[in-house]
Amino acid sequence: MEYQQLTKDTIKDYVMQYPSAAEALGGAKEIAIEEIGDGNLNYVYRLRNAAAHNKSVIVKQAVPYLRMAGEDWPLSRNRMDFEIRALQFYNELVPSFVPKIYHADEDMSVIIMQDLRDHNVIRYRMIEGEVFPRIGEDVGKFLAETLFRTSGFGMDSLERRRLMQKFNLNDELCKLTEEFIFTFPYMEHDSNYDNPKTSDYARQTIRQDREYKLRVLKFKELFLTKADALLHADLHTGSLMGNTDETYVIDMEFAYFGPFGFDVGKIMANFFMAFTSHYYHSDDATYQGWLMEEAFKIWDRFESGFLKLWGEQERSAMLEVGMLSDEELAAYKKSFMKRLLQETVGFCACSLARRTLGIAGVPDIRKIEDEDLRSTLEITNLKLSQKLMMSYDTIETVGQFRDIVEQFYTDTNLSYMEKS
Ligand code: ADP
Ligand code: SR1
Ligand code: MG
């Protein structure tokens, strides 16, 4: 079918022609249609059987432009091809963590998928102070499974290179990341966000700081060159949906083969930004304590899961029985994990800066109306970014990483803010 942008008038007929989607809607005669997309790039619709609200599907369609910037900012629809491929692949690899697919259509840039109607977008609930008991554990497990099993440690060389080919051409979204995460925030650029005190701080510090910017460039180089594993590549708390029992990962259109630390660092940065935002949203440190625990649980569970899978793998592109003694392999693992931790910290620092200075902020903070309060929190995130970027290569253990973050927040002396 030739591409056409779906509308509320055309979407029902489009969806009902696919038997598994029609079945998920309970063969409805009357369907309620709602556009629920709150993302930056695409259109997302919920279709519900008007007579049975537990029969519903989600339809996500890419349009040939960047939704948040408008039709004047062209962006290839091919991003949906990669979301489809990644979601299909994850449905094989980690089915309990991703929505089921009812129909995928690369020509129409559409996925019809399971409606996670009993789950909520984690970011918005975290703003409200909701606790998700499984989140750190589940995200760490998702990362261990997806990153190990698509890496040279977990896959045969030929099989892996064939998989890489399916994601090599996610060119426009990779370029978007290169620019919006690793370039524009560190210079004057029209697309950047502007809150006067925050922008002044960036001009006087980060954008003058040669060493900080050279370090950012090093992480940009890693993003461009290091093909460790198939990444989700846009893993933030808005890409997680959950409840007390389950966690789901959505929105994998940025998927490509990149450095392990990018996914891990990005999601940890989102927990730290949520932590910062709770100087506004909370009245005391209770919820922040939970956020800090879960942020580091992500790392702990990721590391232990990754090493467990490695321990079970005898042969792969990277591993061959007889090449290394147990002792040699243990030494390699130790230095590998230290490097991965340092890369995680560096990517975390980039994420903190881009979500503060760039076009795509986090609603945890961007939605705060008072400019001055917002700026205090934004500058806090920038200072944390600076701290982490300038110290990532001194960090040898996750305990040191945590100490730096906790000490940073203690030193800020921030108090809980009064809302007007
Ligand atoms: P974008 O690629 O534009 O960022 P997302 O994939 O993040 O779009 O989806 C936008 C929103 O649509 C999500 O924040 C969520 O509210 C909703 N959504 C997406 N997928 C699902 C799903 N499978 N079930 C329920 N809601 C979904
Ligand atoms: C223009 S940048 C838009 C951002 O939204 C997505 O969620 C990605 O994070 C991307 O960088
Ligand atoms: Mg998206």
Looking at the chain, the whole-number percentage of residues with pLDDT higher than 90 is 97
Looking at the chain, the whole-number percentage of residues with pLDDT higher than 70 is 100
- CA 274/CA 270 separation, integer angstroms: 6
40 lines ligand 2 (CB under 6 A): yes
Minimum CA distance residue for ligand 2 atom 8: 234
Q: Which residues are found with C-beta within 5 Å of the ion, ligand 3?
A: 39, 41, 251, 253
Q: Please give the single-letter amino acid code of residue 3.
A: Y
- CA 259/CA 145 separation, integer angstroms: 15
184 lines ligand 2 (CB under 6 A): no
CA–centroid distance, 80 to ligand 2, in Å, is 14
Residue 165: which pLDDT band, with cuts at 50, 70 and 90?
very high
- CA 359/CA 401 separation, integer angstroms: 28
Residue 38: which pLDDT band, with cuts at 50, 70 and 90?
confident
Q: Which two tokens stand for residue 186?
A: 């560190």
Residue 39: which pLDDT band, with cuts at 50, 70 and 90?
confident
CA–centroid distance, 133 to ligand 2, in Å, is 27
- pLDDT, tens digit, for every residue of 244-267? 999 999 999 999 999 999 999 999
Residue 41: which pLDDT band, with cuts at 50, 70 and 90?
very high
CA–centroid distance, 284 to ligand 1, in Å, is 31
Mean pLDDT across the chain: 97
**Ligand 2, closest atom to CA 239?**
7
| Residue 420 pLDDT greater than 80, yes or no | no
The residue whose CB lies within 8 Å of the most ligand 1 atoms, and thus the one to mutate among 38, 54, 82, 119, is: 38
Mean pLDDT of 138-144: 99
- pLDDT, tens digit, for every residue of 183-231? 999 999 999 999 999 999 999 999 999 999 999 999 999 999 999 999 9
pLDDT of amino acid 276: 98
| Residue 1 pLDDT greater than 90, yes or no | no
Q: DSSP states of 261-305 as a string? A: HHHHHHHHHHHHHHHHHHHHH-SSSHHHHHHHHHHHHHHHHHHHH
